[in-house]
Homo-oligomer: A and B are copies of this chain.
């Protein structure tokens, strides 16, 4: 028998992603979101939801671009701060000491110190309610060499392998409880560990 909690945005995991954008004057800004996720494989798209009241909302509408920056757990304090201050009256890059890098591909800055970034072109705007969902087409994914897998099994892509979640160490947000967690142990390979279930039938 499950206990009922009512109509709430209460689910796990939700990500801690830092959205990069330029303001109306072209000044770089960042904000933290937990409402988002991949929403399409082809074209590759990621969705982030923002309230209209946010500074970033107007930025994305103007420039039709944003970045999704994945902070590592060592930057959890910065990510938390970026989620509470507003770019309207604060230079969050200056306050945190993080560095904006100009994207060659889209009109939005990304964060040098965060190990994994997605550069996105605004594809669709979906008005839902309090939040507006921005669907961004991912035009490139960039990662630091230091977070690439060196596991032989994972090097199909070639030199250096793929970005490894265990090295990126993304942050998870727990709605309602309001806590952050790191990622934990490897539970196994997808499309593989469940195979025996199918076979026992």
**A interface residues with partner B (beta carbon < 8 Å):** 1-15, 17, 34-47, 49, 68, 70, 73, 76-85, 90, 95-96, 116-118, 123-124, 126, 128-131, 133, 135, 137-145, 148-149, 154, 157, 160, 162-166, 168, 170-198, 201
**Which 5 pairs across A and B sit closest by C-beta, in order of nearness?**
A37-B37, A81-B194, A80-B194, A182-B184, A184-B184
Shortest distance between the CB of A103 and any CB in chain B (Å): 11
Determine if B190 and A83 form an interchain contact, defined as CB atoms under 8 angstroms apart: yes
In the assembled complex, which residues on chain B have CB atoms less than 8 Å from the CB atom of A14?
15, 37-38
In the assembled complex, which residues on chain B have CB atoms less than 8 Å from the CB atom of A118?
10-11
Determine if A131 and B162 form an interchain contact, defined as CB atoms under 8 angstroms apart: no
Taken together, the copies of this chain in the complex come to 2
In the assembled complex, which residues on chain B have CB atoms less than 8 Å from the CB atom of A34?
38
Complex: chain B residue closest to A142, CB-CB:
B2
- Selected contact of A81 from candidates B70, B157, B178, B197, CB within 8 Å: B197
CA separation between A47 and B142, bound complex, in Å? 25
Complex: chain B residue closest to A177, CB-CB:
B162
Task: Given contact pairs A78-B194, A164-B174, enumerate 9 new A-B contacts (beta carbons under 8 Å).
Answer: A12-B15, A13-B165, A35-B40, A38-B175, A39-B49, A40-B131, A41-B130, A79-B194, A184-B184
In the assembled complex, which residues on chain B have CB atoms less than 8 Å from the CB atom of A201?
90, 95
- Selected contact of A140 from candidates B4, B68, B70, B85, CB within 8 Å: B4
- Selected contact of A174 from candidates B15, B44, B77, B165, CB within 8 Å: B165
In the assembled complex, which residues on chain B have CB atoms less than 8 Å from the CB atom of A139?
7
CB<8 Å pairs between A and B, sample of 15: A6-B140, A9-B45, A11-B15, A11-B17, A11-B68, A13-B172, A35-B41, A39-B128, A41-B131, A76-B188, A82-B194, A162-B176, A179-B186, A181-B186, A182-B185
